[in-house]
Copies of this chain bind each other. A is one copy, B any other.
Amino acid sequence: MARSRKPSAYARAGVDIAAQERGLAEVRKLARGTFGPAVLSEIGSFGGLFRPDLTGLAEPVLVASADGVGTKLAVARMADDFSTVGRDLVNHCVNDILVQGAVPLFFLDYVGAGVLDADRLVELVRGVAAGCRENGCALLGGETAEMPGFYQPGDYELVGFIVGLADRGALLDGSRVRAGDLLLGFPSAGLHTNGYSLARQVFFETMGLGLRDRIPGDPERRRVGDWLLAPHLSYLAPLRPLLSHPGLHALAHITGGGLTDNLPRVLPRGLAAEIRFGSWEVPAPYRVLQERGDIELEEMLRVFNMGIGMVAVVAPDAMRELSRGLAAAGQRIHPIGTVREGEGGVVYDLGLTEGALEGGP
C-alpha cells in the first residue's frame, strides 16, 4: 500500500502533532532531570511510577493537592515570559502539603493551550522542572492538551498536582494549637498566586500602568511586571528540619485569600488569631493597590497576603529554638500575633488610634 500521505487531516483541524512531539521530547528530558532513584518509569508510559521510601514511618499517609496559577498567567502572557509561572505552581503546591507536615514526593503538571507553541511549552515546563528540583520532588508526568478554539491564542493554562508523604503521628492539622501560641509570619515575595484579577484591574485599568512602569511610591522602585511575576516562595527548606519539633503546632499557607480566610483553617474551635497589624511592614505595592483601588483594609486582608506567605503557630516555650532554627536557614520571620480564646476567625489589632477589625471565615 502506498505510503504517501495527505497533509494530516488532524493538522488541518488545528492540531500539529509533529510540533507537539518535538516539544514533548524536550519536556521529557527536563522531567528526567528531576528523577531520583524512587522513580521507576520514564515519562511516556501511561502513568508515572514512584516507589516511596517508607523506612521509619509507622503509618504512612499520602498528602495530595491540586492547584492552578490563576490569572497570574495573564500577566505572564502580557510580559511574554512564561519562565517563572512553573516555579510558582510547584512552590504553591509544596507549601499546601508542607502545612500538613508532608514533604513532597512527586508532581504532575497539565498545560492547556489553543495552539501549542513548542518553545513556549518548553519554557513553561522548564520552570516546573526547576521548581521540582529545588524542592527535591520528581516531575513524574504530565499532560499537554492542544484545544483549538478553547484557549485564546497565546494563553496557556497551567495546573499542578502534588503528592507528598507524612507519618500519621507527625501530621499537622491544627489540633495542637493552644491559646497563648505565637504567630510567626514568613515574608512573601509578592502576591504569590493570589489576587491577580483584582491587582491587574487596579494597576492596569484604574492606574493605567504598564509592566515596565515603576510602582508609584515604592521605595524599592520595583516595576509592576517584576513585582507581579515574582515567584511564589517555597517554605520547604527552612521548615523541613522543624516539622517534627513538638513546639511547631501548625502551619497556614496564606494563599487563595489572605490571612483572614487562611489562618482559621488551622484554629480549633474556641480559639481566634489576634494579628497586630503593623507588626510587619506591609510592602508598598499593597498600599498602592489599596489606595488607588479604593479597597477597604478588611477586603485587602481577605484577598491579599499583605506580605505574609506562611504563618507558623508556635508554642511560646519553643519560640526561641524555632526562631533560631529558621534564622540559621536564612528565613526571615515576623512575630505577628497570638492565638487567644475567641469565636474563630482573625481579629486585627490596628493600634490605639484605629481599634480592631474582625474577620472570619
Contact = CB atoms under 8 A, between A and B. Distances in A.
Contacts of A74: 147, 149-150
A198 B12 CA distance: 8
A118 interface: no
B52 A148 contact: no
Interface residues of A, number: 91
A61 interface: yes
Contact of A71 (B61, B149, B162, B295): B149
21 contacts: A1-B350, A1-B356, A3-B358, A6-B296, A9-B294, A13-B201, A15-B197, A41-B173, A45-B100, A45-B173, A47-B64, A47-B102, A49-B62, A49-B63, A51-B60, A51-B61, A64-B141, A65-B108, A71-B147, A71-B150, A74-B150
A6 B68 CA distance: 29
Given A47-B64, A108-B65, A163-B163, A147 B295 contact: no
B112 A44 contact: no
B197 A13 contact: yes
Interface stretch (A153-161, A279-287, A319-327): A153-161
Given A71-B148, A149-B71, A356-B1, A9 B49 contact: no
Interface string A37-57: 000110011111111101000
A149 B196 CA distance: 12
Given A50-B62, A148-B71, A265-B45, A161 B161 contact: yes
